[in-house]
Each structure stands twice: as C-alpha cells, then as structure tokens.
Structure 1
Amino acid sequence: MGGTGSFFYAGAVTSDPSSARLHVVTGKGGTGKTTVAAALALALAADGRSVLLVETEGRQGIAQLFDTPPLPYEERRVAVARGGGEVKALAIDVEEALLDYLDMFYNLRRAGRALRKMGAIDFATAIAPGLRDVLITGKIKEAVTRRHDGRQVYDAVVVDAPPTGRITRFLGVTGEMSQLARSGPIKTQSDGVMAVLRSPQTAVHLVTILEDMPVQETADAIAELTAAGLPIGSVVVNMAAEPVLPDEDLARAAAGELTGADLTPALAGAQLPGGAELADALAAEVVEHARRWAAQDALRAEVDALGRPTVELPLLPGPVDLGCLFELAGRLEEHLDAAEVAA
C-alpha cells in the first residue's frame, strides 16, 4: 500500500487514499465514522506499519471500540494489526495542547499552567471556539510531521474528525488564523498546518449510509471541501445491507407483484403452520425489503455520481467489537490496494 499519485474528478484534485499519510474521517452523526476511522487505522497498520488514531471530540469513542480504559493525553497502543503493525491512539485534550503550543513557541508552559488554574484556558476556548480547532489541528500536524532519527515516527495518522456539517470549518480555521497573523510563530505554525492539510499527503474521507440526509450531507461536504482547496479521499458507504433475494425477484416484489398466494405452496410444502395469514405477512415483509433495497440502490447511484473512489462496508450483526473492526479493516485494505493499482 505504498505508491503516489492523485485521482482527478470534475476538475478537483482528490487524494489517492493509498498514498496519503493523514487520513481525516468525517460523516454525519450516526453513520459510524468512529468505527470506520478505527478500522482504517487497523488497515493502514497492516504489514508492520505504525499508525496513530486521533480522537478530536472528547467522547472516548475509540477507547470503547477497543475496549480499553479512557484515553489520556498521551499516545497509547490499543491494537496490534495484521503482520505485527501497531495502532496507537490519542484523545486530544485542548488544555494540554495549548500548554504544548505555549511551550513550543514561547517557552511558557509554566505560565500556561498558571492560566489553567485560573480557568483562563476554558474561558478562552469558550469565547473563541475556533481556538480549539486551531490547537487540535496543530497537534495533528505535529504528529504527521514528527521525526525520530531521521524517520517519520508514524507511517499514517487517522483522525476521527468532527461531523460533515463542521468539517470544512474545522480544517480551514487555521488558514483564517494565518491571514490574521502577518508574522511571527503563530503565522509560521498556521502556514505549516495548512501546508499539510492542503497537500497530497492528506485525504478527507466521508462516511455515509444509504439514506437521503447522509448522502446529501456528503455531497454538500464534498462541494465545500473542494471550494476550500482541501483534498478529498474516498466515500465510505457504511452499514450496507445485502439483498436477500435475486435481482429479478427483488424487482418483482418492489413492483408489488408478490402476494401471499405466491408463497402459500412453498409454506405448505414445508409443513409450516399459519396458512394464508402467514403467507400474506411474509409477502408484506418481502415487499418492504425489496422497496427499501430499491431506494438504497437509487441512493447508491447518487453516491457513484459524486465521482469519488467508493468502498462499501457491510452491516454487521450485533455490537461492534474488535473482531468486527478487523473484518471491516480487511475490506478497507482491499480498497487501498485497489486504489494503489489505479494510481
């Protein structure tokens, strides 16, 4: 899963997900973006790679998925991937990120601690919400560019980012900061962050499900990200259900041409009780399934029309556990390998 290159669609540059090093995962609430981010981290860590999975919203969703204690503001290993790769996770704490920032550029960590005791940091981030995003994206950039003994510390960084309605603002706020600061450390840091976010090494992946609102939000987010010059990776269709009937039978049922009378002989042959009443109930269930599938298929066509590399992940039964994450990671590995070949 190495390689370089970009996909080009509708005049916009789209990052090749197989060559990006920073993977930003967003999606409408309820689409499973945290699960997808965790599975993507496992996929990228295969074959001995080192990956950092970053949580930005303080929900400790990553800790729950990997069944670990709540994550502190330090990088901790949460999983070993196929081939001995390693996934570490970090839950960004805004106050600690600000202390890092003050120490890195102004040597003011001690003063920052005093401000925290006074409640000044909470006050600052409350009256200037954009400051929170500046600090988070700054920490992400530091992890992406960090080197040790001349080598990148992480082969990839995966970010469980804010939802689609806020993603363009989240990624672009540091650029606004750069325009306000004409010189000095803030200007330098802001320019450095945006240089990473707008480069081919970044890919913003959008998670959706086959429902009207998530698909529309995905399309809107792609338009906003493109206008902001931010590189788009793949669209991940999550929790995609498989049809339980052949295409011909699905089409017939969706058209309302299936009735209980069509099922009665089979039920009688199987010696199932219930007779015509059971047959009518089963027929109604089949028609509902077929029409739901037809509606999803129409939305699948809308996703395809977005012109982005797309991967579907299946709807898995029961709660998501580590086994489920590895199953989804396998699907994403195949997608990354296919993207590398295409590039």
Structure 2
Amino acid sequence: MARLHVVTGKGGTGKTTVAAAMALALAGQGQRVLLVEVEGRQGIAQIFDVPPLPYVERKIATGVGGGEVFALAVDAEAALLEYLDMYYHLGRAGKALDKVGAIDFVTTIAPGLRDVLLTGKVYEATRRKAHGKLAYDAVVVDAPPTGRIGPFLNVNHEVADLAKVGPIRNQADAIMGMLRSDVTRIHLVTLLEEMPVQETLDAVEQLEALDLRIGSIVVNMVRHSPLDDEALALAVKEKIPAAELTKGLRAAGVAVSKELVATLAAEARDHAVRVGLERENRDRIDALGKQVTELMLQPEGIDHGALIDLAEEFRG
C-alpha cells in the first residue's frame, strides 16, 4: 500500500544512490515515480548526469518496465512562494517579499516552517491527481540524514510554538496524518560499520516513538568474502599455512618471497577481522526484526549502469 518512500541514512552511506535506485526499481515495475530532493545538494542530478534540477518536475529516466522517473529539487523559499500564492493569492506580492529577503529571513528564524514547506510539497505531490487518477504511482524522497530525520518528519511538533491554529497548523497536521498512515514507509540506509549501524538503531527507535512506520533497512555496499569460514578462522589467528600461501602464489604465476607471504598473511588477517565485525553489525541489524535489503558494492563507482544493477537488486 505504500506510495511514499522516505530514504534516510548516515552521511556517507549512499543514501542518495539508494533513493535513486529505489525510484528506478519502482519504474521498472511500470510505475510513474517522482524522486524528490530536499537538501539542495543536487545529488540526484549528479547521479543521473543531468543539469541541476529546478523547482519543476522533470523526467530524468525510464525504467526497464516502461515506467518513468521524474525528479524535483524542493527549495523552501520557492515552496513558500507557492504556498503564499495558493492560500493567500500573493503571487506578485510574494515575489516582492522574496526580493527584499523577507522569505529567507522567515524560513531561517523558523526552521520548523522550512520543514513544513519541504514536506508540504512532498505531501502535495503524493496526493495530486491528474485526469481522475494519481499523478504519481510512487514518490521517493531523498531525505535528510538520520541525525535530522526525526525533526524533519515530526512537523506538527516543530510548528507547535509557531502556529496553534490556521493554515500552517492545518497543513502540518495533514502532513503528519499522511506520514503516519499506510501510505508511507521510512527506509534507512546503513553500512556494516559501527557508527552507521548505531545511528540506524537510534533512528528506528526515534521514528517508531513518533508512530512512523519503518519499511526496510538497506545494507549498502555489501562485500562477500572470497574465504570460507574455516579459512577466515585460520586467518584471524594468523594460522594460514605458509606452504598453502606459497602454493597459491606460484599457481598464480607470482614470484614468491618470505616478505610477500608474510604480507599476504597479514592482509588475510585484517580481512578476516573486518568480516567478523561486519557480521556482528549485521546481527545487530537483524535483531531489529525489520525487512533487510542488501545492495552490493559497485567497485567501478556509480553510473547509470550501476544504478540499473542496484535497481534490479531491489526488485529481486
């Protein structure tokens, strides 16, 4: 039933890439998808190699199933101008306020209002209809990182001191109603490292306390070890037989020396330790009891082909 997918994660976990791949995966099912950016970084434009996104919905990709991906960069000031025109018919007057810096001043002193404007545009796009049906089958939001996702989504609390009644308060309440409904799911992106996993655990607790629904935990940049469990156990104890390493190097046509064998053994130990830590962090994620999606590391970097591969992993 979910149509609004909010993607968050600690900085550096590939949150924007995951949001883009998710949008492509939905388009691969034949859906018309809107991919929304709210942080002003133009990360979506960079990933899809298109010009910077304006405050206008623009088609940027086609899914393998015939669906389409549109993109929008939501700007708080532009959203406020749209809001003033929609509710107060202040088209020209609103632009005049923008020219003198009043809109930037208002959204700066009232950050809660900024979030209402950003999420308000997402709310409008999710509910918008055209020709008697929904304009978009799904909306994917590249949201702020986990450290700010709670306040960003908890908009009615953020405007509690700003507006007790009136259009702003009504809009905040309507947004929260949608965010807490079956329409919305929050997806958290993490790596199998201590800090991202801890932020993910903290964010899940915070979001569920706000009655927001978790969709999936996306474990990004997964690397599977070429060593089996027995070899890993030997490597971590530095007990891989030197004769086996020597044999393997010679079979690969590599000139063997004691120094090389020792270096390779040390590398194997470091690798085994890392694998052990990753497994411990994966156990912590699994203990949440949430749906977990793994996306493989793309060693050549992220281009359109890599996005298609990640989208296929989502669909698989």
Q: Which range, TM-score by smaller chain?
A: over 0.9
Map of 1:89 onto structure 2: 71
Q: 2:170 aligns with which of 188, 193, 200?
A: 188
Q: Cα distance 1:152–1:173, how it changes in 2: closer, same or farther (>3 A)?
A: same
Alignment of 1:120-135 (within 5 A): 120-135=102-117
Map of 1:30 onto structure 2: 12
| Residue-pair matches, total | 316
Q: Which stretches of structure 1, 4 residues or longer, exceed 6 Å deviation after superposition?
A: none
Correspondence 1:301 to 2:263: no
Q: Distance in 1 between matches of 2:251 and 2:213?
A: 58
Map of 2:180 onto structure 1: 198
Task: State the Cα distance separating 1:39 from its structure 2 match.
Answer: 0.2
* Letter in structure 2 aligned against 1:196: M
Q: Distance in 1 between matches of 2:85 and 2:154?
A: 24
Task: State the Cα distance separating 1:263 from its structure 2 match.
Answer: 1.2
Give the 3-state SS of the residue equivalent to 1:47 in structure 2.
coil
TM-score (norm: length of structure 2): 0.96
Q: Distance in 1 between matches of 2:248 and 2:30?
A: 53
Correspondence 1:221 to 2:203: yes
Map of 2:213 onto structure 1: 231
Select between 60-69 and 258-267 the one with higher mean Cα deviation: 258-267
Give the 3-state SS of the residue equivalent to 1:82 in structure 2.
coil
* Letter in structure 1 aligned against 2:65: G
Q: Distance in 1 between matches of 2:153 and 2:253?
A: 61
On the 8 A contact 1:175/1:194 being kept in 2, the answer is no
Q: 1:325 aligns with which of 283, 307, 314?
A: 307
Q: 2:266 aligns with which of 284, 288, 309?
A: 284
On the 8 A contact 1:178/1:190 being kept in 2, the answer is no
* Letter in structure 2 aligned against 1:209: L
Give the 3-state SS of the residue equivalent to 1:84 in structure 2.
coil
Q: Cα distance 1:180–1:128, how it changes in 2: closer, same or farther (>3 A)?
A: closer
Select between 219-228 and 251-260 the one with higher mean Cα deviation: 251-260
* Letter in structure 2 aligned against 1:300: R
Per-residue CA deviations over 1:42-74 (Å, capped at 9, x if unaligned) read: 011123210000000000000000000101110
Question: Percent identity among equivalent residues?
Answer: 58
* Letter in structure 2 aligned against 1:35: T
Give the 3-state SS of the residue equivalent to 1:199 in structure 2.
coil
Q: Cα distance 1:155–1:262, how it changes in 2: closer, same or farther (>3 A)?
A: same
Task: State the Cα distance separating 1:184 from its structure 2 match.
Answer: 2.8
Task: State the Cα distance separating 1:295 from its structure 2 match.
Answer: 0.9
Per-residue CA deviations over 1:265-312 (Å, capped at 9, x if unaligned) read: 333455531322221111111111111111101111011011110011
Per-residue CA deviations over 1:193-228 (Å, capped at 9, x if unaligned) read: 111111111000000000000000000000000111
Map of 2:87 onto structure 1: 105
Correspondence 1:40 to 2:41: no
Q: Distance in 1 between matches of 2:64 and 2:280?
A: 36
Map of 2:240 onto structure 1: 258
Give the 3-state SS of the residue equivalent to 1:90 in structure 2.
strand
Task: State the Cα distance separating 1:187 from its structure 2 match.
Answer: 2.7
Give the 3-state SS of the residue equivalent to 1:37 in structure 2.
helix
Q: Distance in 2 between matches of 1:114 and 1:230?
A: 38
Q: Distance in 2 between matches of 1:224 and 1:302?
A: 17
* Letter in structure 2 aligned against 1:160: D
On the 8 A contact 2:155/2:172 being kept in 1, the answer is no
Q: Distance in 1 between matches of 2:2 and 2:90?
A: 34
Per-residue CA deviations over 1:216-252 (Å, capped at 9, x if unaligned) read: 0000000000111111110000001111112221222
Q: Distance in 1 between matches of 2:194 and 2:169?
A: 41
Task: State the Cα distance separating 1:185 from its structure 2 match.
Answer: 1.9
On the 8 A contact 1:65/1:320 being kept in 2, the answer is yes
Q: Distance in 2 between matches of 1:227 and 1:81?
A: 36
Q: Distance in 2 between matches of 1:111 and 1:260?
A: 79
Per-residue CA deviations over 1:100-127 (Å, capped at 9, x if unaligned) read: 1111111112221111011011111222
Task: State the Cα distance separating 1:256 from its structure 2 match.
Answer: 2.4
Select between 185-194 and 266-275 the one with higher mean Cα deviation: 266-275
